[in-house]
Structure 1
Amino acid sequence: MGEFKTIGIIGRESDAVGESLKVLTRFLKKRSVKVLLSEKIASLLPNTQLPICNRTQLGESCDLIIVLGGDGSLLGAARMLARHNVPVLGINRGRLGFLTDILPDELEQNVGNVLDGHYVLDKRFLLNAVVKRGAETIGRAEALNDVVVNSGTSAQMIEFDLYVDNEFVYRQRSDGLIVSTPTGSTAYSLSGGGPIMHPKLDAVVLVPMFPHTLSSRPIVIDGNSEIRIEVNGRNAIHPPVTCDGQVIITAEPGDTIFINKKRHKLKLIHPVDHSFYASCRDKLGWGSALV
């Protein structure tokens, strides 16, 4: 651990990312590290002599992937890279930055520490989502944060039956359901009234979205549970199934959504002084009104 000889860089296209990319590539060159750029981020370095690869090639070739951007950029990278077992380090050029926790002005110091073997390795599980229409698979996707089944409109509710490990839980009429990992518990799930879960928990939370009955509350279940959501055939709308807010599969009345834990975990690298609770204090403003 700690010896990263080939490093891939992924990120979104923005002026802020471009600034950090120049600093990062200069620093890595001084450290005699081989650097590969993703196709998208390479556009920020015109006439670069660095090799340019797609994400699959980066996953197969690199010892470490550095993501420049916000949590959304890292979520997209995570879904692709988890299967390659390559660790990921995030440098925050976005907003909240629960996952991309290195600040731009600390880039050289923290990346240098990682290259010297001083870091914390954090493993996060992802979710698989499969939409079936009878025996036919309509679509499948992965999520690090959450899988969301919703009505797709604020004017109508959907009705669905929820099963956990083949045991009937309830029939619900609501705007939908958020199925979140601990990683996603500080994202959309939190906005929907779900609990904050420590990332080390092996658990999944089911958060109803504006349920028709006030007694419906979030449920935390074992992380190895098999979740099945059956969309009632009487629904008039076609509910979208969204993974991390980025991948959308359109379901139909009568379809079934299966959700379970993905076998491969994301290896997420943090600075040695990283603290989940400190991140919550900083990002969520805990105690900010206290002096």
Structure 2
Amino acid sequence: MSRRVLVLAHTGREESLRAAWDACDALHSSGLVPVMQKSELADVERFFGHVDKPIEILHEDVRLEDVELVMVLGGDGTILRAAELVREVDLPMLGVNLGHVGFLAESERADLTQTVEWIASREYTVEERMTIDVQVWVRGQKIWHTWALNEAAIEKADRERMVEVVTEVDERPLTSFGCDGVVLATPTGSTAYAFSSGGPVVWPEVEALVIVPISAHALFTKPLVVSPRSKLAVEILNRTDAKGVLWCDGRRSVDLPPGARVEVTRSTRPVRLARTHQTPFSARLVRKFELPIHGWRGPVPRSSEIHTGPVPVVRTPTPTPLPGPFDPPGPSVPGHENSEEATKES
């Protein structure tokens, strides 16, 4: 049975078009069948001319359920777009970074051929990333329902005015304040918008939700990390007529009038990311953000691993007590041989 790999690219950029061309060629050479969306294949052929090797068209020649893996060529935005396409069928995505940071990507453009070889030999693992379920309510009516991999960001709609909000955790109000917005993020999204707003970096294997106010005008507006079982909510207050807007992963948006309520819970359907090597998240942070680590010496050896000679034992002799005036004569105490003569002379 043929193994099919869907190639998704940001075809509005020349670099992505070249990467898609090279990826399809490498997949053919490895005995895999490349699959592309019709519009993206048309962009590639418009740039390079007719592709002489067969490429199957998604939804025409093959169903999404028949694809083994999605190879995403681009930055984090391209991966988020791909997640919208494949999340419902639980397809794993493997990102090849063509952008700047590319935190969700697994490999770089220079490793494209090697990445295809890993796919062909099935040398990859799949990890699940938490997503969030997002609902918007206005006057008791649900007007919007979506999901997000990174974050749901409530922002002010007008540049010149703050939006007044109240935050809520587990159906209990926490605090209200004026701000530019509030980010409700997953651990995956903690290194995206939430990170830019001063939020904490959360390791992907930590199950949690993050609340990060944006430019809040209040005292208690620190970032918060809460249980993944919690229900978060942000309400747009009616104190003013300032409006908001909700963005999910920077791709889908809806307007928030005064009185609107945004509710966020953990979704039951995750996004699956393919990994070709088990790189620790700390190493990924260092590489992606180019963190300075010069002078690092490594872990200190444990005491059980240090081999030393035997510790010498110093024995202190027990001192002999001096005789009292009524004690019978006994052997003389060293250093006191002339004590009797000294007594007679006195």
SS of the residue aligned with 2:292? Answer: coil
Equivalent-residue separation in structure 2 for 1:126 and 1:259 (angstroms): 10
Equivalent-residue separation in structure 2 for 1:252 and 1:281 (angstroms): 41
Aligned-residue identity in percent: 24
Report the CA distance between 1:175 and its aligned residue: 1.2
**TM-score using structure 2 length:** 0.78
Q: For structure 2, list consecutive stretches of 5 or more residues without a partner in the other structure.
A: 297-346
Report the CA distance between 1:4 and its aligned residue: 8.3
Equivalent-residue separation in structure 2 for 1:249 and 1:265 (angstroms): 23
List per-residue Cα deviations over 1:167-191 (Å, max 9, x = no partner): 2212222111001111111111111
Higher relative contact order (CA 8 A, sep 6+): 1
Which residue is 2:5 aligned to?
7
Pair 1:53-2:52 in alignment: no
SS of the residue aligned with 1:43? Answer: helix
Which residue is 2:27 aligned to?
28
Moved more, 86-95 or 164-173: 164-173
Q: For structure 1, list consecutive stretches of 5 or more residues without a partner in the other structure.
A: none
| Letter paired with 1:120 | T
| Letter paired with 1:240 | V
Q: Which has the larger radius of gyration?
A: 2
| Letter paired with 1:61 | D
Pair 1:125-2:130 in alignment: yes
Equivalent-residue separation in structure 1 for 2:166 and 2:2 (angstroms): 47
In the superposition, relative to structure 1, how do residues 42 and 179 fare at CA in structure 2: closer, same or farther (>3 Å)? same
Which residue is 2:118 aligned to?
113
Give yes or no for contact 1:11–1:40 (8 Å, CA) kept in 2.
no
Give yes or no for contact 1:181–1:205 (8 Å, CA) kept in 2.
yes
Pair 1:184-2:184 in alignment: no
In the superposition, relative to structure 1, how do residues 206 and 21 fare at CA in structure 2: closer, same or farther (>3 Å)? same
Report the CA distance between 1:58 and its aligned residue: 5.6
Equivalent-residue separation in structure 2 for 1:115 and 1:68 (angstroms): 17
Report the CA distance between 1:265 and its aligned residue: 0.8
| Letter paired with 2:17 | G
Report the CA distance between 1:118 and its aligned residue: 1.6
Moved more, 113-122 or 202-211: 113-122
Which residue is 2:233 aligned to?
228
Equivalent-residue separation in structure 2 for 1:58 and 1:72 (angstroms): 24
Which residue is 2:140 aligned to?
135
**TM-score using structure 1 length:** 0.92
Give yes or no for contact 1:7–1:65 (8 Å, CA) kept in 2.
yes
List per-residue Cα deviations over 1:59-118 (Å, max 9, x = no partner): 433111111110100011113322211111001111101111311111111221133122
Equivalent-residue separation in structure 2 for 1:58 and 1:245 (angstroms): 28
List per-residue Cα deviations over 1:213-267 (Å, max 9, x = no partner): 1331000001122112221123312201001111111111111111111211111
Which structure carries more strand by proportion?
Answer: 1
1:142-181 to structure 2, matched below 5 A, reads 142-181=147-186
| Letter paired with 1:250 | D
In the superposition, relative to structure 1, how do residues 178 and 237 fare at CA in structure 2: closer, same or farther (>3 Å)? same
Which residue is 1:276 aligned to?
281
Give yes or no for contact 1:79–1:143 (8 Å, CA) kept in 2.
no
Moved more, 135-144 or 182-191: 135-144
